[in-house]
Amino acid sequence: MSLMILRAGPAALVQDLGRPGHAALGVTGSGAADRAAAALALRCLGTDPGAAVLELLLGGLVLMTDSPAVVAVTGARGLVVVTTSSGSRRTAATGEVLRLDAGSTLEIGRPDTGVRTYLGVRGGIEVPPVLGSRSRDTLSGLGPPPLVAGDVLAVGDAVVGPWADHWHAAGGDPRGVMGPRGGTGPRVGAGPGGRGGGPDPVVLDVIPGPRDDLFPPGAWRVLAETGHVSGHADRVGVRIDPAGPVPRSSTREIPSEGMVRGAVQVPADGSPVVFGPDHPVTGGYPVIGVLTSRSSDALSQLLPGAPVSFRRVSE
């Protein structure tokens, strides 16, 4: 079974849980930017949580399957269109589990809410792993390259649970989760990635440390005020335009130290930078805190200009 990419959109990447444990080699963890949305796509397909999915920035993907397949679309909310080999066309939405017949095409449009959509296929996307992961690291260039029209992706067999036996048969669900005729299965939640910067700020929870002692108490007051996602936002990091410069006890740089996803680093200009999945492994500015996993997922779904604020929380 394979999927042919007819149109890739602005950025279509293969992602899984990432490749943690290689920071000593200068390799970051990478992996899906919205972990919860990626995990949801695999979970509702009965596929191993370590399998790979497609991460789509601002939609735009069109693909065709050469065999029956079952897929799920999660994350940013938008229109999904399925066209059969006979030309029959129907629309679906983010959060649906879909059965595709051989020769069908699937189109994922530009999201109405959020920016990253995840496409999972039962069995997982099968590409050669690099350092134990199938994720694309946009900073180092490790992993499979961004998809382009004409690429063909193999589908693996990483099916678990009650779906594991005879799952290839007609691409359907042996337990009847899929309707016997329709291409639509149950509607599932779009996941936390569905949020998308309305008039109310998205509140990002921050666990203090490791260098919060280098900031005066007023730093947390500034972070709690409404700022905005700047135009400098990608998988490496997101710069925040704060309500005012976040004060530091000292503007001098500190010795480089290890960084993690969600780290809130504050340069001398007082504009926080939140590290994404493809962040550098070290940095020389103090980190006042680290976003919770849920908040990191939420930030990955926000467009430039979206209002945000930070909330100090305990572990």
pLDDT of residue 173: 38
Residue position matching structure tokens 């666990």: 207
Q: How far apart are CA 163 and CA 185, in angstroms?
A: 14
pLDDT of residue 162: 62
> 23, exposed or middle or buried, with CB in 10 Å at 0-12, 13-18, 19+?
middle
**Helical (H) or strand (E) element with 74:** strand 69-77
Q: How far apart are CA 167 and CA 163, in angstroms?
A: 6
Cα-based distances in Å from 39 to 127, 143, 151: 18, 19, 24
pLDDT of residue 164: 58
pLDDT of residue 129: 96
Q: Which residues of 116-125 are buried (b: 16+ CB within 10 A; e: fewer)?
A: bbbbbbbbbb
Cα-based distances in Å from 125 to 119, 129, 155: 10, 11, 5
Q: How far apart are CA 54 and CA 13, in angstroms?
A: 6
**Helical (H) or strand (E) element with 275:** strand 273-275
Q: How far apart are CA 263 and CA 296, in angstroms?
A: 9
Contact 3, 20 (CB under 8 A): no
Amino acid 145 reads: P
- pTM of the entire predicted model: 0.89
Mean pLDDT (10-residue bins), the chain, 315 residues: 95 96 92 97 94 97 96 96 95 91 96 96 96 96 97 93 50 35 41 50 96 95 97 97 94 87 95 97 94 98 97 88
pLDDT of residue 63: 98
Cα-based distances in Å from 228 to 231, 266, 289, 305: 10, 15, 18, 5
Amino acid 159 reads: V
